[in-house]
Amino acid sequence: MSDKKRILITGGAGFLGSHLCDRFLAEGYQVIAMDNLITGSMENIEHLLDNEDFEFIEHDVSTYVSLPGKLDYILHFASPASPIDYLKIPIQTLKVGSLGTHNLLGLAKTKNARILIASTSEVYGDPEVHPQVEEYFGNVNPVGPRGCYDEAKRFQEAITMAYHTHHGLETRIIRIFNTYGPRMRLDDGRVLPAFLSQALRGENLTVFGDGSQTRSFCYVDDLVEGIYRLLLSDYPLPVNIGNPTEITIKEFGEEIANLTGVEFKPSYHPLPQNDPMKRKPDITKAREILGWEPKVDRAEGLRRTLEYFKESVLQ
Ligand code: NAD
Ligand code: UDP
């Protein structure tokens, strides 16, 4: 039997999951990607299928999960992540955050594996504390349209901590803030794919509300480095990982128009219900505990992402 570390990555055919597969293979791990392809795509992992250290299993993790052989680590990233996705499939979203997480915690316990779960800045809801620190409990409407995602993730954190304290399981919780980069789905409705593909097609940019709401965008390689460090750390409480450089959505649209060489022409649409008005991570913990901070600024990250989108939009 190989002495390589073996890691299971759920949601491995998605945007973040596929980048994690790349990273852990590059670090010399055996990687199993498990995905039911509900929002992901085989195209994201096509380049890995011939790698003898890589295995893909098509499976819905909200049903029972079992796996032969040893397992050292689990990264639980399966979940719809874009608002239009989880609004379309709210029950699957609630199930993968709750039942799916329970199944994977059970698997981790059986295998004596360490598990890291992908939580989100959405646990802070429409925040009243700015920037958001891990100690803030959040401001979430459980019965609003985003409740299916936010509350699934809050439950996910709670059950993960319960397995840690009650069963002594080695657990890690990352709260991911808006991340972007190659392999985002063009039509996933998130602001970056929306603006970039609209700009490349010469369409108006769809700004929701007056565009004064803020987000802080992190390039995918920086996030992956943060995940890698957190997994290998010994810190069980939640850690924010994101880029603290905040920008309004309108300014972001202007930036994307500039980048693609078109005039900024917004078309304004109503702000979705419970859309957070501001978001920016406090990354003091990530800096102190993991020695992590983002390295790729937005100008560089957007340039790299544009290359990918150009190929997909203009092909
Ligand atoms: P994505 O939609 O690209 O990837 C999610 C993957 O999970 C997809 O491949 C999908 O098919 C798979 N999946 C969904 N339900 C499943 C199920 N029941 N069984 C098996 N596979 C299933 O989204 P992403 O942006 O890569 O997000 C990945 C994770 O990171 C999610 O848990 C999300 O909540 C979290 N996250 C992402 C961001 C971000 O900015 N991208 C921010 C915060 C949190
Ligand atoms: N947004 C927008 N136009 C779009 C898509 C999104 O103005 O075509 C706004 C959205 O209302 C939100 C922000 O951009 O305020 C980020 O949205 P996204 O769906 O990317 O992620 P969120 O952080 O809301 O989960």
Domain boundaries of the chain, sorted by first residue: 6-181+218-242+281-295, 191-212+246-279+303-313
Pocket test for ligand 1, best of 58, 63, 79, 240 (most atoms within 8 A of CB): 79
CA of 89 to the centre of ligand 1 (A): 13
CA of 69 to the centre of ligand 2 (A): 42
CA of 205 to the centre of ligand 2 (A): 12
CA 187, chain centre distance (Å): 16
* Whole-number pLDDT of residue 265: 96
Of the candidates 29, 86, 124, 149, the residue annotated as catalytic is 149
Which bound ligand lies closest to the C-alpha atom of 184?
1
Residues 188-204 pLDDT 10s: 999 999 999 999 999 99
Alpha helices in 32-82 (DSSP H): none
Superfamily of domain 191-212+246-279+303-313: UDP-galactose 4-epimerase, domain 1 (3.90.25.10)
d(CA 133, CA 269): 31
* Whole-number pLDDT of residue 221: 98
Q: What is 6-181+218-242+281-295's CATH number, 3.20.20.140, 2.70.240.10, 3.40.50.720, 3.40.50.1950? A: 3.40.50.720
Name the stretches of the chain with pLDDT < 50.
none
d(CA 192, CA 252): 9
Cβ neighbors of 46 (< 8 A, separation 6 or more) are none
Active-site residue, 73 included: no
* Whole-number pLDDT of residue 179: 98
Residues 25-55 pLDDT 10s: 999 999 999 999 999 999 999 999 999 999 9
Q: Does the beta carbon of 176 lie inside 6 Å of ligand 1?
A: yes
**Fold equal for 6-181+218-242+281-295 and 191-212+246-279+303-313:** no
Q: Does the beta carbon of 250 lie inside 6 Å of ligand 2?
A: no
* Whole-number pLDDT of residue 2: 80
**DSSP line for 110-146:** HHT-EEEEEEEGGGGBS-SSSSBPTT---B--TTSTT
